[in-house]
Amino acid sequence: MCDLVYLQVTALCVYPELMKSPDFPEDTKEHARTILGGKCCGGGSLGAYSESVGVEVIRRHVAKYIEDRDGGIKCDYNNVILSGGASEAIKSVMELLNRPVDGKPVGVMVPIPQYPLYSATVAEFGMHQINYYLDEPRAWALDIPELARALEESRSTCIPRLLVVINPGNPTGSVLTRQNIEDIIKFAFENRLIIMADEVYQHNVYAADREFHSFKKVISEMGEPYNTMEMASFMSCSKGYMGECGLRGGYCELLNFDPKVKAMLFKMISAKLCSTVHGQAVMDCVVNPPKPGDPSYELYSQERDAVLSSLKERAALIAETFNSMEGFKCNQVQGAMYAFPQLELPEKAIEAAKAAGQAPDVFYAFQLLENTGICVVPGSGFGQRPGTYHFRTTILPQTPLLKEMLARMQEFHQTFIKKYQ
């Protein structure tokens, strides 16, 4: 994906000897010096422990990025924690808020389909998962009555405390409207739920009628009493136009957390000393990219635009193709990096799956893999309404490869259907 500029910046950070090289533009050197010179970036090196919550100058840059993103709404860098990918921060915040009451587990409202980190973490910490279904026929919209149903049904078994929202959606590819976000916030407020806003795909919006609204911005603009709600928002360098997932950069912004609770989180994090300082440096490149006039700006903006416009093209292509295939229904990929099509499976295929000891969608995915080499993730890994079958596939392969993949899938599907009809 787009990466030349921040690979340069982080290479300079890793090996400052390169500052002498004429091959690195001056702004990348200046950027590396800013990171290395930052308070808590000990000894001007990524090799020293940073403060446990992250290098201060990078946290300040994150805060500035959030302010710019949200039209100037204030962000205090003291509310920002840098983490090894968003996953680490998500797990830490869930662990922090996992305080059962009178033996009743803490309830976490999780969308279905969901990103499996949530179900895994709920299980790991002995929390209770409250499933709410996204509305597939309405482009995976998040319905408030469905939230209410799920919440009410859970009350006897848990203490509902967290509401996870993934926007743009993984695996659904949906992007919430502003109105929908407002309604979710009101619901969370009325039911005293803390919103965990997984916003790692905030740069990945493709649909013409959608844009990204951060929960922070909407909560702030709704004013009293909503702007006093506790909320946590998560971001990563693994998605967007960056896709630098192996480097484990991420951040979390905590809104309106009691200082004592925040102090507990910071203490908890400090046991592991700090997240990768290299990942922190990458995060700095994400939130503080070259500006117009900088020597690297042209290269950066070209790469970014090329990646995002290609993803947009592929997002349209994949949904169109699935919808042209018999037995498939696929919502528009409004954002993120995935399609989550629904497929019809013949009764005999379902029986064959049962005989093989597999869920029908798992059976399908294995058959697909074995016959074509294409790997998709069965819908049951994310959750789906009983009796429906899906899989998740990504829009990450370049267009020609994606076309080839879809053609092979189509061919496989026809053979599969014929076999089990």
Q: Would you tell me which residues interact with a copy of itself (CB under 8 A)? A: 1, 3, 7-8, 10-11, 14-15, 17-18, 21, 23, 42, 45-50, 84-85, 87-88, 91, 95, 116-117, 120-121, 124, 238, 243-248, 268, 271-279
Cα(272)–Cα(275) distance, integer angstroms: 8
CB of 96 to a copy of itself, least distance (A): 11
Cα(110)–Cα(119) distance, integer angstroms: 8
Q: Which residues contact 204 (CB under 8 A, 6 or more apart)?
A: 168, 239, 240, 308, 311, 335, 336, 337
Instruction: State whether residue 314 is helix, strand or coil.
Output: helix
Indicate the residue among 60 and 91 with the shorter CB distance to a copy of itself: 91
What residues form DSSP beta bridges with 250?
83, 236
Indicate the residue among 48 and 407 with the shorter CB distance to a copy of itself: 48
Indicate the residue among 35 and 80 with the shorter CB distance to a copy of itself: 35
Indicate the residue among 104 and 186 with the shorter CB distance to a copy of itself: 104
Indicate the residue among 270 and 399 with the shorter CB distance to a copy of itself: 270
Terminal-residue alpha carbon distance, the chain = 42
Please say whether the beta carbons of 408 and 372 come within 8 A.
yes
CB of 300 to a copy of itself, least distance (A): 15
CB of 45 to a copy of itself, least distance (A): 7
CB of 124 to a copy of itself, least distance (A): 7
Indicate the residue among 8 and 393 with the shorter CB distance to a copy of itself: 8
Indicate the residue among 14 and 73 with the shorter CB distance to a copy of itself: 14
CB of 200 to a copy of itself, least distance (A): 12
Instruction: State whether residue 63 is helix, strand or coil.
Output: helix
3-state secondary structure 107-152: EEEEEECCCHHHHHHHHHCCCEEEEEECEHHHCCECCHHHHHHHHH
Nearest residue to 89 via CA among 269, 333, 224, 221: 269
Torsion of CA 186, 190, 195, 199, to 10 degrees: -10
CB of 93 to a copy of itself, least distance (A): 14
Q: Is the peptide bond before 397 cis (omega within 30 degrees of 0)?
A: no
CB of 387 to a copy of itself, least distance (A): 28
Indicate the residue among 123 and 369 with the shorter CB distance to a copy of itself: 123
CB of 74 to a copy of itself, least distance (A): 30
As a whole number of Å, the CA-based R_g of the chain is: 22
